[in-house]
Amino acid sequence: MSQANINDNEVDIVIVAFHSDLTAFLNEWRPIFSPFHLIIIKDPDLKEELQIPEGFNFHVYTKSDIDKAVGPSNSNLFSGYSCRYFGYLISRKKYIISVDDDCIPAKDNMGCLVDVVAQHIANLKTPATPFFFNTLYDPFCKGADFVRGYPFSLRSGVSCALSCGLWLNVADYDAPTQVLKPGHRNSRYVDAVLTVPAGAMMPVSGINIAFDRELVGPALAPSLKLAGEGKFRWETIEDIWCGMCAKVVCDHLSLGVKSGLPYVWRNERGNAIDSLKKEWEGLKLMEKVVPLFQSIRLPQSAATAEDCVVEIAKIVKEQLGGEEDPMYDRAADAMVAWVNLWKSVGSG
């Protein structure tokens, strides 16, 4: 899909500024991002003024904007990595694309710059096929089709709500994996997009994603915060939790989730060894959280993404709440608070 086919009024690109100088980052992205509106969320802990090069159509939101919009009791929802969710909340566009500020455009196997916007939007605008796996990957990609045996009644597919892109160079590993393989780099460019089948759970990374805000915006909720959560991806699992929540919602509402293209090139940031201590908390937690999300069956009465998130919050509270660690109760409360914000401040 070329950019010519994308209406730039449909797209907001959400960027979190963890560092004040966005010059190099945005100059790298200029050929791809410049036609689109950028929502830049300044890390609430960042004191220095942002440096943003000329030639972009953008709006910066700071801690005071967040406080003003959501009130001081809710503003802690938007700390650290989760400040990006404020961008999701105040956007009024159909599609959101979000890329971490330690990523630059990748090149494909032919050496061509990957247009993340075009690929994410193509993923979202073409149907997804979660109810039967197509062995030749996304049948709506150029040159592909449904293979023999694919039921014709399922070939129209369903709307795709979430597009999960991947990472070259520094892949999205946890701190222990990164520590064990310090020199490891991901160089495998897999030229494919696929629909993750209904019922299958997956770890959605927040590094490089896009979604249809009108369909599933409320399901991309800031929820689970680790006590020792830091400012490196491997110190958080907020996006993994949010992604499982979104996947459960998509499965329930018969919406699709795609994974694969587009890639971004991810640069190194942070020291995995320093992060190891914090990370273990997130690692142990997944052993409990994955079976929970795998077991969730939402009631028929949950007909919107908002309904679904509230139902999931209820289940989290019932199944994981009241434990020694109040983290799960806080996550459930955050999900409910988020849905309320979506209805009052957002476009819900």
Residues that bind a second copy (CB under 8 A): 109, 131-137, 141, 143-154, 164, 166, 171-174, 177, 181, 184, 186-192, 194, 196-205, 233-234, 237, 240, 243, 259, 282-283, 286-287, 290, 294
Cβ distance to a second copy smaller for residue 72 or 149: 149
Backbone φ, ψ for residue 27 (5° rounding): -65, -35
Q: Is 300 helix (H, G, I), strand (E, B) or coil?
A: coil
Nearest distance, CB of residue 62 and a second copy, angstroms: 29
Cβ distance to a second copy smaller for residue 187 or 301: 187
Cβ distance to a second copy smaller for residue 58 or 173: 173
Can you say how many angstroms the Cα of residue 323 is from the centroid of all Cα atoms in its chain? 28
Nearest distance, CB of residue 93 and a second copy, angstroms: 25
Query: What is the DSSP code (8-state) at residue 228?
Result: T
The closest alpha carbon to 327, from 338, 316, 337, belongs to 316
Nearest distance, CB of residue 129 and a second copy, angstroms: 11
Q: Do 18 and 83 meet the contact criterion of CB atoms below 8 Å apart? A: no
Distant-in-sequence, close-in-space partners of 334: CB < 8 Å, separation ≥ 6: 77, 221, 222, 223, 224, 225
Cβ distance to a second copy smaller for residue 89 or 114: 114
Cβ distance to a second copy smaller for residue 136 or 302: 136
Q: Do 116 and 208 meet the contact criterion of CB atoms below 8 Å apart? A: yes
Nearest distance, CB of residue 149 and a second copy, angstroms: 3
Nearest distance, CB of residue 162 and a second copy, angstroms: 12
Half-sphere exposure of 235 (CA within 13 A, CB side): 19
Nearest distance, CB of residue 135 and a second copy, angstroms: 5
Distance CA 160, CA 150 (A): 19
Cα dihedral 162, 24, 115, 250, rounded to 10, equals 0
Cβ distance to a second copy smaller for residue 2 or 152: 152
